[in-house]
A and B are shown apart, each in its own frame.
Chain A
């Protein structure tokens, strides 16, 4: 389907990276990184609370600044790059969040749902398409569904008007063979482009991203220094370099992307994402990478081992938005094991 081995790069540094700093990115940081990304020619820059538009809350974390400030700051600093937002129906509503976001100049709406619940995206996708915006469907936590179910859910998004579907390995659980199995099937089933968003819990983010393009994905997500939830995402600078070496075109300037990576390390992050021991457990147990901070904090409060918490959360198949279960799990582990 690709015309010239072209891969569309979407950069969620300022959205997924917000998870890594408990949603505390400031307007100044957003302005600095957007300018750098724009200079590098990154086609799409995603901005917002880690859980997307309208998600700032006590339950999943209050952002340092509101959506209006984030998006208008980004807009002011993106000249060529498209401005994107992550939209989870429920957190984001059409009236309260999407209509204002359109006014603030958002170009691309990435409407996301848990991998088995694409039905909830219908109204949001319809609305954004009818407003003349580019709309991608995003399936999250895709390690939890087989390729056939993923294809059915992605087909729904296509029918609703999505112009691409992105598979998210939100837990960083995939191996390249999983990517090939699922992405190939989607590429075969859908008539719209397929994209892939990796997390690096098992050190597989670049390998998985490359596996995705090798079997037909046309869109890849990458973050500066891998700045993202948990062990982080595919490292953008490395991704661009590898794609160049493999003769894929991205339209992105490698040197300026390296500069943006340096700037991100200096200006955005207190700690560069690494594959911590807990992140590995998070990936193995198939729990959303964004659970890392609350699991560590709550485990410490209850005096339980966060690895046990992750495996129990994985057994319960929790998904983003169910962070309140962490306390329940920690409490039950404390009662059943640690008091003995």
Chain B
């Protein structure tokens, strides 16, 4: 019998599967290697691939590489026992060999946590730069490799002024700020992938993820929606740092991960795709969506820094390219995304 977590995730995947079934059939009988496989994206990818095994008898095998192992061991105990999944518990920088049977690689190892970037800039940069180099060297020795997907970041874009960002938008100018260690390393990793595609003839696509929500996110991460949910869970007013007009597009984890799979299976080598929701939502609206999903109605506090500021940021992807090339669409609208996320944290994963 499925436990509560599995049943909840299963609902999401079943709801979406029929819309993408034909695009996922390429994955049947294939072997995947996921670096950072215990993170938010990695865990969702494992959910999708194991779902296909359960419902479609897809015969997929997944190698998960991550320094963290508890989540994968707890959630996929049966799959690990059956050998459908294999957990490799070490740092991606130590990767020297990828199992020969691997056909597809998703390189997602990195922490997007800005606190970690600030305290450990060397580790941040080296795990992205050296980790990507290690992965590419090992991948170049595979005989049956069909595609690599490199997870880059929307942080490589320069701040936009109320415009959506296309894949050709201006990237971050060179900066002396230490805050740039993560985007600089991600930009380097993208370029390294481009070089490997040329020199080693590796089939590689890169994606630039934006803003996400849903199961498997860590509520203590400083993302806008997480902090709102965390406030409401603790029965406190929802605190908005500025005037509430900071704008994002929020995509649900099940959508994000299935987009990644479709891009991996069908994306054109050499391409870079934005991944995220292009539906703009302001922080104040997000807070209201969160509030109405709680049995009590948390109040919403603006300008929590107490200094009156109007420092708004606008981070929204233009997803024309990925939608045109791969016929992808949003499967979970904003309201449902937030409602599912709140349900996860209040009822499923307490």
Contact = CB atoms under 8 A, between A and B. Distances in A.
Contacts of A8: 306-308
Given A3-B310, A130-B220, A159-B117, A193 B177 contact: no
Interface stretch (A24-32, A147-155, A290-298): A147-155
B7 interface: no
Contacts of A12: none
Contacts of B231: 132
A132 B305 contact: no
B306 A159 contact: no
Nearest to B241: A163
Given A122-B119, A132-B236, A152 B177 contact: yes
Q: Interface residues of A toward B: which range?
A: 35 or more
A44 B307 CA distance: 11
Nearest to A108: B306
A119 interface: yes
A126 B226 CA distance: 14
Given A126-B220, A132-B234, A193-B305, A1 B310 contact: yes
B35 to A, nearest CB: 24
A156 B311 contact: no
Contacts of A6: 307-308
A117 to B, nearest CB: 12
Nearest to B243: A3
B343 interface: no
Interface in B270-322: 304-311, 313
Given A152-B177, A155-B178, A159-B118, A134 B305 contact: yes
A192 B305 CA distance: 8
Contacts of A131: 234
Contacts of B59: none
A164 interface: yes
B114 interface: yes
Interface of A: 1-4, 6, 8, 43-44, 82, 108, 119, 122, 126, 129-132, 134, 136, 148, 151-152, 155-156, 158-161, 163-164, 189, 191-193, 195, 218-219
19 contacts: A1-B310, A2-B307, A3-B309, A4-B308, A6-B307, A8-B306, A44-B306, A122-B115, A134-B304, A148-B176, A152-B177, A159-B114, A160-B115, A160-B118, A161-B115, A161-B222, A164-B305, A192-B241, A195-B307
